[in-house]
Structure 1
Amino acid sequence: MTEYGYFLSCEEHGPAELVEQARMAEQAGFTSLWISDHYHPWNDAQGSSPFVWSVIGALSQATSLPVQTAVTCPTVRLHPAVVAQAAATSAVLLDGRFRLGVGSGEALNEHVVGERWAQASVRLEMLEEAVTVLRQLFTGGEVNHHGKHYTVENARLYTVPKDPVPIDIAAFGPSAAELAGRLGDGFISTAPDPDTVGRFRRGSGGNGRSKPVRGGVKVCWGPDREEALRTAHRLWATMMLPGELAAVLPTPAHFEQASELVTPEHMAEAVTCGNDPDEHVAALRAYADAGFDVVHVNQIGPDQRGFFDFYRTKVLPRLSG
């Protein structure tokens, strides 16, 4: 049976707000948490970008729910040896209730350290090597690695969880889905596409069915559908940009410029807005029907308490029945 979690948006909210949302999510009946990892928001209207590892530390003291990054890029802005230490500490704080979600990243967040932003095939190659480093360090032994993209010398994590941190891999294209199947402990996607899920499972060989598939979906609950649509368009028109734009545009200003091509009508086709329980249930069931094991929902905009009350009383009971 598919489970339902909440997706904390570091692009829209500060650290204290995110911790409070996590508490409300647990009270509403959500069973896990996703949290985004960004250096910049996608646009200035979103307006936030706290350091995810500090927030995860706070979450570990505020909720009993499992937590996963969705997703961290362990290749440019942070060396994989540093990500390994952050993830291992998070897993210890959460008593094993932490999964590391990783992906090949976006220039928006990664180019800030002045490194060249490579083409997609090279970024996937870097991700694969980074995952190798992460897994070695999670054993708690000393690691020396001299690879094509990364060097690690005499590195050892002294604070590690009892079991190695699971690593789930995000994928948005065929090559990345196959890589996720071959390399990951699970799969992450934000589109309810059964073909992509199938590619992941085939790439996993005989282990595909035992590896979880986790998804994320954005909605904008509100009593006024048109107002909710305006909120979704103002804050998240960026999610409608086609192709590789999301991976290669370097600044929030560039995303704002490109988003001028996205109309409210485009958003209405992609984001469930308003307060019709049937529409919200259908949006989440699309992921279950596509083969997802866990679906994480993110409420766009400031009315978080209204959203949680709505899902607690009108949506989650129907999904669990």
Structure 2
Amino acid sequence: MPVHIGYAAMLERFPPAEAVALAALAESHGFTGVMASDHFQPWLPAQGQSSFVWSVLAALGERTTGDLGPGVTTPTFRWHPAMVAQASATLGALYPGRHWLGIGSGEALNEHIVGHYWPEAPERINRMFEAVDVIKKLFAGSLAGRDVRHSGQYFKLESTRLWTMPAVAPQIFVAASGPVTARRAGRNVDGLITTGAPAERLAALLTRFAEGAREGGRDPSKMPKVLQLHLSWAATDEEAMRNALVEWPNGGMRFARSDIRSPFEFEQLARTVRAEDFKGQMVISADPDVHRADIQRHLDLGFDRVYLHNVGRNQAEFLEVFGREVLPALRA
């Protein structure tokens, strides 16, 4: 069975036209899909970008042939879930069988900008799953040709439907970093999304997701398990470490980031990150085989889709080297 290794288009780091061109270049080197980040602000001022993910996804659909989705969007603060459902359904209609919908509970960096109260994590997660219910209702009702409505704890939807739908509703994946959310995802959606973490933590997430799937009467082996994997590859180990420290200090932060509101506040925290903080958090190496082994470990854990984000600006070189030396050696 072919291995599904996709490209992570980081819209907080690259202008939209460049991100689209890099995704097309990735496909030419053997990458098989695109996960595009949904940000209103970059993590750091120096990253310098934050384009509108739904516009970029449409452009990606024109320039590539693989799967594509936002990894992840938050239909709870900036967006009412009905609007996310409409955006997703439109992409699904434009690119049948290619689009999936990744949903998360959000970070203050992106979501606080509309001035809402920023709740604690349990409420954010409950909001996310209610938003999923609204989106699922709209997908199902619209495919059946009927209006739906919703009146819940956090959201209301007056009687309506989506008038543009693909023949099959997009799959919904939920982002989880903890076991409770992973289990709820298994019960309620089509797949799981998470990011790189120590193996024991990821194994626990996959176990809880599988438990939730079985509780929902589904076979977890047939449900997508999606991983976004941050890494730093460059021509030398020193350059790879420099890229990590300058471009992606996020990877060395060992504290929760969901309450940080400003890129400038994030910049101050990033100054505390040191080279040793990346150990066990993110692979930093000039050796493609070291990265190949790390990706293979994640495939062996049970992930069936891995989207790679190389933190340096050396994207073209990374895509060429990994397409030649890493992707062909991976096995499902």
TM bucket (normalised to shorter chain) is: over 0.9
- In 1, the alpha carbon distance for the partners of 2:170 and 2:45 equals 34
Correspondences of 1:223-242 after superposition (within 5 Å): 223-242=235-254
Aligned to 2:30: 29
Q: 1:207 aligns with which of 213, 219, 223?
A: 219
**1:45 alignment partner, SS class:** helix
Secondary structure at 2:309 match in 1 = strand
Q: Secondary structure at the match of 1:216?
A: strand
Partner of 1:106: 107
- 1:162 Cα offset (Å): 0.5
Provide the rounded CA distance (Å) in 1 between the counterparts of 2:108 and 2:251: 15
Counterparts of 1:174 and 1:268 in 2: how far apart (Å)? 23
Letter in 2 for 1:264: A
Separation in structure 1 between the aligned mates of residue 265 and residue 187 of structure 2, nearest angstrom: 34
Work out whether 1:271 is the aligned partner of 2:268.
Answer: no
Q: Which runs of 4+ in 1 moved over 3 A?
A: none
Counterpart of 1:279, as a letter, is V
Superposition pairs for residues 153-232 of structure 1, below 5 Å? 153-191=158-196, 192=199, 193-205=202-214, 206-232=218-244
Matched to 1:229, the amino acid is: M
Query: Secondary structure of 1:270's match?
Result: coil
Q: SS state of the match for residue 326, structure 2?
A: helix
CA shift for structure 1 position 240? 3.0
Task: Give the letter aligned to residue 239 of structure 2.
Answer: E
Query: Could you tell me which residue of structure 2 aligns to residue 246 of structure 1?
Result: 257
Task: Return the alpha-carbon distance in structure 2 between the equivalents of residues 287 and 295 of structure 1.
Answer: 8
TM-score by structure 2 length?
0.93
Quick one: which amino acid aligns to residue 199 of structure 1?
A: R
Instruction: Structure 2: give runs of 5+ residues left out of the alignment.
Output: none
The amino acid of 1:216's aligned partner reads Q
Hey, what's the Cα distance between the residues in 1 that align with 2:26 and 2:270? 30
**Does the 8 A contact of 1:169 with 1:184 survive in 2?**
yes
Question: Residue 310 of structure 1: SS of its match in structure 2?
Answer: helix
Alignment of 1:261-300 (within 5 A): 261-267=272-278, 269-300=280-311
Q: CA deviation at 1:218?
A: 1.3
Give identity over the alignment, percent: 39
Once the two structures are overlaid, the 10-residue window that deviates more, 18-27 or 273-282, is 273-282
- Distance across 1 between alignment mates of 2:93 and 2:19: 20
Supply the RMSD in Å over aligned alpha carbons: 1.5
Partner AA of 1:287 in structure 2: H
Find the aligned partners of 2:152 and 2:284 in 1 and give their Cα distance: 47
**Structure 2 Cα separation of the partners of residues 64 and 40 of structure 1:** 28
Contact 1:238 1:255 in 2 (8 A): no
Q: Distance in 2 between matches of 1:239 and 1:38?
A: 17
Conserved 8 A contact 1:238-1:256: no
Distance in 1, Cα, partners of 2:18 & 2:185: 32
Report the CA distance between 1:96 and its aligned residue: 2.4
DSSP-derived class of the 1:218 partner: strand
* 1:223 counterpart SS class: coil
Equivalent-residue separation in structure 1 for 2:66 and 2:284 (angstroms): 27
- For the 8 Å contact 2:43–2:263, the answer to whether it is kept is yes
Task: In structure 1, list runs of 5 or more residues that go unmatched.
Answer: none
Pairing 1:32-111 to 2, within 5 Å after superposition? 32-111=33-112
Indicate the residue corresponding to 1:310 in structure 2: 321
Verify: 1:258 aligned to 2:272, yes or no: no
- How far apart are the structure 2 equivalents of 1:202 and 1:23? 37
Q: Measure how far apart 1:261 and its partner are.
A: 2.3
